[in-house]
């Protein structure tokens, strides 16, 4: 259930707070109290503890209900076992939201789970919303409030909101952001998410205009639909969510009957989710901060064409390599730009991108600003990066540093497109540096060329991707389609007939129940045929001698009998419907198209090329259903064999629109199946605009 606005206001921006269990010896309570002071909290504070001991100079209340004032939020710094009772007191005091710090719930196993359920149900009954347990609470730097029971360091206020399931990780992000001069607005840790979760936090924070980007750390997504809604709201707000999700190294491949099933793992599905929901996924805590920061400093970036400037040839080259590695395109300057640059560059300087201003810039520091201005006018440039470090102390500063930075800052403001200054390596932003940055209003990325270039590339891709998602309107969703039960489609033949109902092109296939029928079918098809056994009990036909290829029509009858005999011997248990007779196909591209159910995320579409691509390189691209044509086109582009679609070894170029349409129809078919585990077409044969499913397999969940 999405938390209501007033609850979240009380949680994120409380005007009056209570700490329950506020005893002088409680390190959590002391930390939370100290943080209120650090942040400059100006609201009302109430200490609650049963003993009535004084806390930090405050008279304590023995219960919340003893407080006569209204209290927005209570922080429960009490053992897990005492939480349930405390909720009654909160209800009596009409406190609508509580933060539970204690661990000792679900993470302890069955016993903890029972306690957790009890607390959840009681809170719901009493109308109290919960943050946690096993969390550290909320710090709101922009409103100088919040209850946070961990470490908080003083910092400037800025546009990054930190949302994390883990409290320790939130603190780590917070500290790193401070070291790197990335000012932030809020920090929230959601812990075990008994009630309020990261999606609630995101939905609330997005509405705050002071929040410009979200750094998210998650271990698991508990409510995928709510999470999707939060991502959608972020796109609408034009605010990126950068996410670090752990679990990349886990391989939860399930033992599956189909190729695609074996390749779907939690982590790859989450990757797919990120792609189709506009999340920027990163691998480390450093990347998390620097990627969000790149947006704070550069704002939305229209494309990948980057111009870079430095005052050293060596650094220019490092810059070029890292930009290319990140997937940015170093621009070529237009003739006009070259002319503008020639006006003030020394004759011996090469006028290329990245631009090396040469050592002359150290004696003529305003060359920095002039170069930015000249280059920003180039219509072929989406983004300008000036490679230079803000000194951390007098010792670190060159005589020309500030003058150069000032000229760059001024040119950046006038540029009309993103201009950032970027450090060489990760460079700390000391108080000394922060004063320069603030005075000059300098858009400074302190993450260095490696993190910085990767971050800018992600931000540019994010904007393009967000637009593509919004344009991808032709998704067919489950509700629009008539239902069938997957467990009925026990044979290839039935699966094929079902797919045909959805307009999927299936190779002409006859189910022959006799020698004569097999012969007739083969004659009708007119050329060499394939014979395949049809039995609900036999999924792997080849293993039981149930497949024969390249059969001449006049041998079909004999092959029919031999096959029945072989299969009956190998699988006396299996009921046999007959033998499928289909034409031999050769040439063309072979794709595998599968729809597989992920236990957490639901139906996943996987598309790959057959042969070595799927079997040796294990290359497939994935998206969650429903999926529109735009995303399917992207999936095809992501495949390492994508260029095969342009035509290869005598194959004609693929009719991409026809292929995308075919995959959409397969998805529609899958979405109409109740109890679907896997639907797989292997292969889907493609030759120009001729597309045909040569096989079909449906596996039900058995429910």
Q: Is 35 helix (H, G, I), strand (E, B) or coil?
A: helix
Shortest distance in whole angstroms from residue 175 CB to a copy of itself: 7
24 binds a copy of itself, rule: CB under 8 A = no
User: How many angstroms from the chain centroid is the CA of residue 603?
Assistant: 17
Sheet holding 213-218, edge to edge: 137-140, 184-189, 157-164, 213-218, 241-245, 280-281
Report d(CA 195, CA 59) in Å as an integer.
32
Torsion of CA 103, 109, 110, 116, to 10 degrees: 20
Query: Considering only 50-58, 74-82, 166-174, 523-531, which stretch makes contact with a copy of itself by CB under 8 A?
Result: 166-174
Comparing CB distances to a copy of itself, the nearer of 262 and 285 is 285
Shortest distance in whole angstroms from residue 341 CB to a copy of itself: 18
Comparing CB distances to a copy of itself, the nearer of 91 and 169 is 169
Q: Which of 378, 548, 613, 624 binds a copy of itself (CB under 8 A)?
A: 613
311 binds a copy of itself, rule: CB under 8 A = yes
Q: Shortest CA distance to 252 belongs to which of 270, 240, 238, 264?
A: 264
Identify whether the C-beta of residue 432 lies closer than 8 Å to the C-beta of residue 393.
Answer: yes
* Length, in residues, of the chain: 703
Q: Which of 359, 503, 508, 599 binds a copy of itself (CB under 8 A)?
A: 359
The crossing angle, in degrees rounded to 10, of helices 224-237 and 266-277 is 30
Q: Which of 44, 118, 144, 176 binds a copy of itself (CB under 8 A)?
A: 176
Shortest distance in whole angstroms from residue 336 CB to a copy of itself: 25
User: DSSP secondary structure string, 611-643?
Assistant: THHHHTS---EEEESS--HHHHHHHHHHSTTGG
Identify whether the C-beta of residue 699 lies closer than 8 Å to the C-beta of residue 678.
Answer: yes
Identify whether the C-beta of residue 291 lies closer than 8 Å to the C-beta of residue 459.
Answer: yes
Shortest distance in whole angstroms from residue 383 CB to a copy of itself: 17
Binding mask 643-682 vs a copy of itself (x if CB under 8 A, - otherwise)? xx---x----------------------------------
Q: Shortest CA distance to 604 belongs to which of 366, 280, 266, 301?
A: 266
Binding mask 371-410 vs a copy of itself (x if CB under 8 A, - otherwise)? ---------------------x--xx-x------------
Report d(CA 168, CA 306) in Å as an integer.
37
168 binds a copy of itself, rule: CB under 8 A = yes
580 binds a copy of itself, rule: CB under 8 A = no
287 binds a copy of itself, rule: CB under 8 A = yes
Q: What is the token pair recorded at 131?
A: 């943050």
Q: Which of 616, 650, 702, 703 binds a copy of itself (CB under 8 A)?
A: 616
Report d(CA 163, CA 632) in Å as an integer.
31
Query: Considering only 10-18, 314-322, 529-537, 594-602, which stretch makes contact with a copy of itself by CB under 8 A?
Result: 314-322
Q: In the chain, what's the furthest Cα-to-Cα distance?
A: 100
184: number of Cβ within 10 Å: 27
Shortest distance in whole angstroms from residue 113 CB to a copy of itself: 13
Report d(CA 283, CA 270) in Å as an integer.
13
Residue position matching structure tokens 């002088």: 24
What distances in angstroms separate CA 327 from CA 270, 279, 324, 443, one per listed residue?
22, 18, 5, 22
Shortest distance in whole angstroms from residue 693 CB to a copy of itself: 22
Q: Which of 19, 289, 409, 507 binds a copy of itself (CB under 8 A)?
A: 289
320 binds a copy of itself, rule: CB under 8 A = yes
Q: Which of 324, 379, 464, 575 binds a copy of itself (CB under 8 A)?
A: 324
Comparing CB distances to a copy of itself, the nearer of 247 and 652 is 247
Shortest distance in whole angstroms from residue 517 CB to a copy of itself: 32
Q: Give me the half-sphere count of Cα atoms (radius 13 Å) on the Cβ side of residue 373.
A: 16
Q: Which of 7, 155, 172, 491 binds a copy of itself (CB under 8 A)?
A: 172
Q: Shortest CA distance to 338 belongs to which of 363, 367, 374?
A: 374
39 binds a copy of itself, rule: CB under 8 A = no
Q: What is the token pair recorded at 247?
A: 């679990």
Q: Which of 217, 386, 493, 498 binds a copy of itself (CB under 8 A)?
A: 217
Report d(CA 83, CA 346) in Å as an integer.
73
Phi/psi for 255 (5° steps) reads: -75, 115
Shortest distance in whole angstroms from residue 284 CB to a copy of itself: 4
Query: Considering only 59-67, 195-203, 404-412, 614-622, which stretch makes contact with a copy of itself by CB under 8 A?
Result: 614-622
Site size for a copy of itself (CB under 8 A): 70
Shortest distance in whole angstroms from residue 377 CB to a copy of itself: 25
Q: Which of 537, 637, 640, 689 binds a copy of itself (CB under 8 A)?
A: 640
Q: Give me the half-sphere count of Cα atoms (radius 13 Å) on the Cβ side of residue 580.
A: 26
Q: Which of 147, 221, 242, 322 binds a copy of itself (CB under 8 A)?
A: 322
450 binds a copy of itself, rule: CB under 8 A = yes
227 binds a copy of itself, rule: CB under 8 A = no
Q: Is 546 helix (H, G, I), strand (E, B) or coil?
A: coil
Q: Which of 139, 149, 163, 244 binds a copy of itself (CB under 8 A)?
A: 244
Comparing CB distances to a copy of itself, the nearer of 1 and 428 is 428
Identify whether the C-beta of residue 436 lies closer than 8 Å to the C-beta of residue 405.
Answer: yes
Q: Which of 13, 164, 629, 631 binds a copy of itself (CB under 8 A)?
A: 164
Identify whether the C-beta of residue 117 lies closer than 8 Å to the C-beta of residue 84.
Answer: no
585: number of Cβ within 10 Å: 16
Query: Considering only 51-59, 174-182, 467-475, 653-661, which stretch makes contact with a copy of itself by CB under 8 A?
Result: 174-182
Query: Considering only 70-78, 222-230, 490-498, 642-650, which stretch makes contact with a copy of itself by CB under 8 A?
Result: 642-650
247 binds a copy of itself, rule: CB under 8 A = yes
549 binds a copy of itself, rule: CB under 8 A = no
Tell me the pairing of strands 383-387 and 419-422: parallel
Comparing CB distances to a copy of itself, the nearer of 431 and 479 is 431
Shortest distance in whole angstroms from residue 244 CB to a copy of itself: 7
653: number of Cβ within 10 Å: 12
Integer-rounded Cα Rg, in Å, for the chain is: 31
Shortest distance in whole angstroms from residue 47 CB to a copy of itself: 23
Q: Which residues contact 618 (CB under 8 A, 6 or more apart)?
A: 263
Comparing CB distances to a copy of itself, the nearer of 327 and 675 is 327
Annotate 437-461 with b (16+ C-beta within 10 A) or e (fewer).
Answer: beebebbbbbbbbbbbbbbbbbbbb
Comparing CB distances to a copy of itself, the nearer of 290 and 665 is 290
Residue position matching structure tokens 């290839």: 492
Q: Is 117 helix (H, G, I), strand (E, B) or coil?
A: helix
Shortest distance in whole angstroms from residue 508 CB to a copy of itself: 27
Q: What residues from 495 to 524 belong to the interface with a copy of itself (CB under 8 A)? A: none
Shortest distance in whole angstroms from residue 89 CB to a copy of itself: 26
Shortest distance in whole angstroms from residue 450 CB to a copy of itself: 4
Kindly list the residues in this chain that would bind a copy of itself in the complex (CB under 8 A). Answer: 103-104, 107-109, 151, 153, 164-169, 172, 175-176, 179, 217, 219, 244, 246-249, 283-287, 289, 311-315, 317-318, 320-325, 330, 348, 359, 392, 395-396, 398, 424-428, 448-451, 611-613, 615-617, 640-641, 643-644, 648
């Amino acid at each position: 259930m999405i938390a209501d606005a007033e609850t979240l206001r009380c949680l994120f921006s409380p005007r009056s707070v209570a700490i329950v269990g506020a005893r002088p010896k409680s390190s959590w309570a002391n930390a939370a109290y100290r943080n209120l002071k650090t942040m400059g909290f100006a609201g009302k504070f109430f200490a609650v503890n049963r003993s009535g001991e004084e806390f930090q100079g405050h008279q304590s209340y023995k219960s919340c209900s003893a407080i006569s004032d209204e209290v927005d939020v209570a922080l429960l710094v009490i053992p897990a076992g005492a939480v349930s009772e405390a909720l009654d007191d909160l209800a009596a005091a009409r406190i609508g939201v509580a933060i539970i710090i204690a661990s000792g719930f679900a993470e302890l196993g069955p016993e903890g789970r029972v306690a957790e359920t009890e607390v959840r149900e009681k809170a719901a009954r009493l109308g109290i919303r919960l943050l946690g347990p096993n969390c550290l609470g909320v710090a709101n730097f922009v409103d100088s409030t919040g209850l946070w029971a961990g470490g908080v360091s003083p910092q400037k206020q800025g546009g990054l909101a930190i949302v994390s399931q883990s409290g320790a990780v939130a603190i780590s992000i917070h500290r790193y952001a401070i070291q790197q001069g990335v000012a932030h607005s809020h920090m929230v840790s959601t812990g075990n998410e008994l009630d309020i979760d990261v999606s609630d936090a995101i939905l609330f924070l997005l509405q705050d205009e002071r929040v410009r980007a979200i750094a998210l750390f998650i271990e698991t997504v508990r409510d995928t639909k709510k999470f999707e809604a939060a991502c959608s709201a972020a796109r609408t707000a034009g605010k990126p969510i950068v996410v670090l999700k752990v679990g990349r190294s886990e391989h939860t491949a399930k033992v599956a009957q189909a190729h695609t099933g074996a390749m779907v793992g939690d982590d790859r599905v989450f990757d797919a989710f990120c792609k189709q929901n506009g999340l920027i996924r990163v691998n480390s805590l450093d990347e998390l901060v620097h990627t969000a920061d790149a947006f704070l400093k550069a704002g939305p970036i229209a494309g990948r064409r980057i111009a870079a400037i430095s005052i050293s040839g060596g650094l220019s080259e490092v810059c070029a390599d890292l930009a290319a590695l990140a997937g940015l395109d170093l621009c070529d300057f237009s003739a006009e730009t070259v002319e503008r640059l020639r006006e003030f560059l020394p004759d011996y300087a090469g006028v290329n991108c990245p631009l090396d201003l040469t050592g002359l810039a150290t004696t003529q520091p305003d060359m920095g600003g002039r170069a930015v201005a000249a280059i920003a006018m180039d219509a072929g440039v989406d983004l300008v990066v000036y490679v230079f470090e803000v000194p951390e102390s007098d010792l670190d500063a060159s005589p020309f540093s500030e003058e150069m930075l000032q000229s760059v800052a001024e040119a950046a403001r006038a540029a009309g497109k993103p201009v950032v200054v970027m450090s060489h390596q990760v460079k700390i932003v000391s108080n000394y540096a922060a004063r320069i940055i603030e005075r000059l209003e300098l858009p400074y990325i302190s993450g260095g060329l490696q993190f910085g270039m990767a971050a800018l590339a992600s931000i540019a891709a994010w904007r393009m991707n967000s637009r593509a998602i919004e344009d991808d309107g032709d998704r067919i969703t489950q509700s629009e389609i008539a239902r069938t039960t997957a467990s009925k489609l026990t044979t290839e033949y039935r699966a094929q007939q079902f797919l045909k109902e959805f307009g999927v092109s299936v190779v002409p296939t006859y189910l022959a129940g006799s020698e004569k029928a097999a012969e007739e079918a083969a004659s009708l098809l007119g050329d060499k045929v394939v014979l395949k056994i049809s039995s609900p009990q036999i999924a792997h036909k080849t293993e039981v001698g149930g497949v024969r290829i390249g059969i001449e029509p006049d041998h079909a009858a004999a092959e029919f009998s031999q096959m029945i005999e072989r299969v009956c011997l190998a699988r006396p248990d299996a009921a046999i419907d007959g033998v499928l007779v289909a034409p031999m196909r050769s040439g063309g591209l072979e794709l595998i198209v599968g729809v597989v159910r992920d236990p957490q995320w639901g139906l996943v579409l996987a598309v790959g090329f057959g042969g070595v691509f799927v079997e040796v390189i294990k290359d497939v691209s994935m998206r969650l259903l429903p999926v529109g044509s735009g995303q399917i086109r992207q999936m095809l582009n992501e495949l390492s064999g994508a260029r095969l679609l342009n035509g290869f070894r005598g194959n004609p170029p693929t009719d991409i629109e026809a292929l995308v349409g075919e995959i959409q129809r397969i998805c529609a078919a899958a979405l109409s199946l109740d109890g679907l585990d896997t639907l797989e077409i292997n292969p889907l044969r493609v030759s120009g605009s001729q597309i045909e499913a040569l096989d079909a397999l449906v596996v039900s969940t058995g429910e």
